[in-house]
Amino acid sequence: MAIKQYNPTTPGRRGMTTQDVSSITTRKPLKSLVKSKKQNAGRNNTGRITVRHRGGGVKRHYRLMNHNLAAGLTVTIEQIEYDPNRSARIARVKDQHGLYHYILADTSMTVGKVIKSGAEAPVESSNRMPLANIPVGTQIYAIEINPGKGAQMVRSAGTKAQLMAKEGDYAQVRMPSGEVRKFRLEATAAIGIVGNVQHQNVKIGSAGRNRRKGIRPSVRGVAMNATDHPHGGGDGGAHGPGKAPRTPWGQLTLGYRTRRRKYTSKLIVKTRHDAKRKR
């Protein structure tokens, strides 16, 4: 999938690119699988801003995704659609019972392709099955963390993981970050690579395009007053306080680790930090 260039009619257009939408077969979603989506502007359930620089943007409807295709389902792809809520494309599929579902679209999905799920499904691209049935070395995506809960990992555009080994009740999978972690063999995954591979190469090009995505401007700390940010203040445009970069509330950034979920550490065989150091 190529990146589309714009004619340089304005300075913003000159540095702007967009996705090639030639793989999308319809512009209209299925009404029964769509619901309204509230704009929270980065606020949590108590109304406090927990993610800064969010707000505005175009209205979007949420597509009801099926990340847990039941075993034994045979579905046929009817349309490849755009989803404003994720970087990947989605596929509208119809199962043998006449019900419609939305699933993640991978690079091999086309209209009319038949996909199967379950332990009896053949080892082919787009099919979904337990990790125990997938050969070692296969590229996979949409992996379950807890068997039966549905896919939670490797769902972004162009991402893929690789099944490295099987030992006991667990399979070792190398994640897109380089981390190697364990999953239960009963957990399911789909074979292939998530579609829309060129998504990461798109250039936003203008501030207005970011605003339409719901992203508001960010002010540098060194441009603030000393009372507003640890980097603020100083005569003549001083750049920083002479110490490590930090947030407006004083927490260190750029390499300072904030991970607290130690209960999942036992499932991590090799961290992504170790993988990056060896490159």
| Tokens describing residue 196 | 């829309």
Where a domain ends, among 161, 195, 229? 195
Same domain membership, residue 229 and residue 189:
no
pLDDT at 241 over 70: no
User: Does one domain contain both 260 and 132?
Assistant: no
Q: What is the CATH number of the domain that holds 255?
A: 4.10.950.10
Note whether 91 and 168 are same-domain residues: yes
Among 195, 211, 238, the domain boundary falls at: 195
User: What is the reported pLDDT for 92?
Assistant: 96
**Rounded-to-integer distance, Cα 238 and Cα 262, Å:** 39
Question: Which of these three, 160, 195, 230, is where a domain ends?
Answer: 195
Q: Are residues 187 and 223 in the same domain?
A: no
Q: Is 68 exposed, middle or buried (0-12, 13-18, 19+ CB in 10 A)?
A: middle
157 located within any domain: yes
10-54 residue pLDDT tens: 988 998 999 888 889 999 999 999 999 888 999 999 999 999 999
Domain extent for 158: 24-37+58-195
Does residue 28 fall inside a structural domain?
A: yes
Are 116 and 228 contained in the same domain?
no
**Chain segment 111-131, per-residue pLDDT in tens:** 999 999 999 999 999 999 999
Instruction: Please give the model's pTM, rounded to 2 decimal places.
Output: 0.86
